[in-house]
């Protein structure tokens, strides 16, 4: 029943309206804590001091009201969502060699939208969840951004797989086989990054990976890309399922350098990759093909300051 309600928006809306009107002792919802049916807001974009690029001052975001990324951006702006990673990502857009940006596990397409708004690079957003991909396409279209949304999951093989839909968050759906609760499954196309790159003719320079625990599978399917193009990789590292150990085994032969994006930049070079840190929300790492030069950290510090502090929730 829960999966049925989630799958059909009209049923979900009617169910929510009924629960708002019920007393809380009978399972009713507190109207003050019920998200809107749809969020539409302007997301201010940063401009660091000394940056000579061009681009829009803001993005118009329209998304379902219960989507977690959109909620955080609506309430706190970019500073409320992975500011360390966003700052380093923006610095990489300036300093990485020419080539495409790949946003793997794009959700509503925040990273791909930023790349298109703050660079002239070719941008691809990979999002297999159908409704979330619809939102990513709508965000790109509403802002006139050149983002190609690929309704595709990247892994270490090509074919199809069951995407497990999370009942908790739109950011938690994954191909990973585990014991986490699921709302249902949807069959999605799967392809390795190396195979997709050959088909698409892209030359990846920056890759962001956040796929709910299958990040090592994405990297395993991209080894030819790492060997040939040596992209900068921004990757979430979770503490479970040996994710960190698998990533180290895959990346070590290519001589990548590892940086945990936690706190103010610059970040020290790490000897090992770990999935646990002082803040559970700071799980993003930078895997760089060479030691990160000071000019990149200097740009990252400028973008970090430009992002500012999270706005007060309203």
How much is the pTM?
Answer: 0.87
pLDDT at 44: 96
- Asked whether the predicted pLDDT for residue 59 surpasses 70, the reply is yes
Give percent of the chain above pLDDT 70: 82
Mean pLDDT of 178-189: 76
pLDDT at 169: 63
Mean pLDDT of 50-57: 91
Stronger pLDDT, 182 or 221, i.e. the higher one: 221
Stronger pLDDT, 245 or 174, i.e. the higher one: 245
pLDDT at 31: 58
Round the average pLDDT of the chain to a whole number and report it.
87
Per-residue pLDDT band for 32 (boundaries 50, 70, 90) equals low
Mean pLDDT of 30-40: 75
pLDDT at 239: 87
pLDDT at 34: 64
pLDDT at 313: 43
- Asked whether the predicted pLDDT for residue 11 surpasses 70, the reply is no
Mean pLDDT of 258-279: 89
pLDDT at 93: 97
Mean pLDDT of 225-237: 97
Give percent of the chain above pLDDT 90: 71
pLDDT at 282: 82
Per-residue pLDDT band for 276 (boundaries 50, 70, 90) equals confident
Per-residue pLDDT band for 47 (boundaries 50, 70, 90) equals very high
pLDDT at 25: 54
Annotate the chain with three-state secondary structure.
CHHHHHHCHHHHHHHHHHHHHCCHHHCCCCHHHCCCCEEEEEEECCCCCCCCCCCCCEEEEEEECCCHHHHHHHHHCHHHCCHHHHHHHHHHHHHCCCCEEEEECCCCCHHHHHHHHHCCCCEEEECCCHHHHHHHHHHHHHCCCCEEEECCEEECCCEEEEEEECCCCCCCCECCCCCCCCCEEEEEEEEEHHHHHHHHCCCEEEEEECCCCCHHHHHHCCHHHHHHHCCEEEEECCCCCCHHHHHHHHHHHHCCEEEECCCCCCCCEECCCCCCCCCCCCCEEEEECCCCCHHHHHHHHHHHHHHCCCCCCC
């Amino acid at each position: 029943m829960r999966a049925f309600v989630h799958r059909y928006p009209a049923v979900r809306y009617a169910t929510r309206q009924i629960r708002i009107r019920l007393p809380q002792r009978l399972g009713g919802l507190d109207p003050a804590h019920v998200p809107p049916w749809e969020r539409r807001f302007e997301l201010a974009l940063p401009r660091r001091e000394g940056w000579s690029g061009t681009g829009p001052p803001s993005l118009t975001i329209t998304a379902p009201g219960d989507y977690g990324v959109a909620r955080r951006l609506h309430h706190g702006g970019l500073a409320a969502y992975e500011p360390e990673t966003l700052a380093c990502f923006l610095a990489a857009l300036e300093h990485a060699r020419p080539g495409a940006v790949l946003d793997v596990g794009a959700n509503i397409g925040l990273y791909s939208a930023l790349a298109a708004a703050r660079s002239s690079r070719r941008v691809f957003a990979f999002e297999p969840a159908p409704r979330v991909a619809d939102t990513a396409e709508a965000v790109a279209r509403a802002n006139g951004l050149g983002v190609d949304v690929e309704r595709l999951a990247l892994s270490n093989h090509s074919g199809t797989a069951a995407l497990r839909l999370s009942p908790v968050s739109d950011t938690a759906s994954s191909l990973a086989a585990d014991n986490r609760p699921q709302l249902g499954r949807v069959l999605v196309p799967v392809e390795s990054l190396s195979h997709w790159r050959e088909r698409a003719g892209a030359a990846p320079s920056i890759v962001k990976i956040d796929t709910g625990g299958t990040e090592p599978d994405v990297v395993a399917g991209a080894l030819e890309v790492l060997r040939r193009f040596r992209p900068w990789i921004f990757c979430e590292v979770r503490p479970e399922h040996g994710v960190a150990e698998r990533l180290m085994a895959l990346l070590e032969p290519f001589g990548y350098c590892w940086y945990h994006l936690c706190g103010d930049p610059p970040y020290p070079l790490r000897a090992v990759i770990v999935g646990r840190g002082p803040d559970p929300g700071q799980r993003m790492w930078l895997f760089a093909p060479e030691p990160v030069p000071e000019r990149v950290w200097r740009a990252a510090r400028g973008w970090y300051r430009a992002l500012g502090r999270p706005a007060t929730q309203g």
